[in-house]
């Protein structure tokens, strides 16, 4: 059975990192952007990381600019923004694609394990769905991730156990992380 430990990604400096290095930890893998309406998610993510990292919890941050070009800048510029504005300390990796022919295999795997089930109810969620559908039309069947700040919870065995769309309440995400720990 394939797990996240079977994947290698690039850190923000371009060095290969095997996700097997995180074996035995609970992971939250997130595609992020610095110019998105959900960018303030960095704050509760960092708070959760600081509180729980001593319990073998890691957040893996993967910037992506496929959604309305909301992650402009180099890997170093993105990192500087996140550390200066939000004080992030969790690992941040090289900017990548999560959809289409150039999608990173990790994100294709994550989305195949936990497919999109909707943004939820309400006017804001419906508006995001319309915008995301228009943006993601160009990726066709390979529109794995619908928007920035999609979060995947990985258990200590490397299995994908939950997917949270950016519209999910961060308290719900935190409760799931606590349950996995």
Contacting residues for 171 by C-beta, under 8 A, at least 6 apart:
none
Neighbours of 168 (CB within 10 A): 18
* Residue 87 phi, psi dihedral angles, 5° rounding: 65, 30
With beta carbons less than 8 A apart as the criterion, state whether 41 and 149 touch.
Answer: yes
Closest to 106 measured CA to CA, from 93, 90, 91: 93
- Is 129 buried (19+), middle (13-18) or exposed (0-12) by CB count in 10 A? middle
Q: Please, what's the largest Cα pairwise distance for the chain?
A: 42
With beta carbons less than 8 A apart as the criterion, state whether 54 and 15 touch.
Answer: no
Report the catalytic residues: 36
């Amino acid at each position: 059975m394939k797990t996240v430990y079977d994947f290698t990604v690039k850190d923000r400096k371009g060095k290969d990192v095997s996700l097997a290095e995180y074996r035995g930890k609970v992971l939250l893998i997130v595609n992020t952007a610095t110019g998105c309406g959900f960018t303030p998610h960095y704050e509760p993510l960092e708070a959760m990381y600081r509180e729980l990292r001593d319990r073998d919890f890691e957040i893996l941050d993967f910037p992506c600019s496929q959604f309305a070009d909301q992650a402009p800048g180099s890997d170093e510029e993105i990192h500087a923004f996140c550390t200066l504005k939000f004080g992030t300390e969790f690992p941040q990796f090289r900017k990548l694609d999560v959809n289409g022919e150039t999608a990173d295999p990790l994100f294709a795997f994550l989305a195949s394990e936990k497919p999109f089930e909707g943004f939820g109810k309400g006017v804001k969620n419906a508006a995001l769905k319309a915008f995301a559908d228009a943006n993601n039309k160009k990726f066709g069947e390979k529109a794995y991730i619908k928007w920035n700040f999609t979060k995947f919870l990985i258990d200590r065995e490397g299995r994908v156990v939950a997917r949270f769309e950016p519209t999910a309440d961060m308290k719900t995400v935190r409760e799931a992380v606590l349950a996995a720990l």
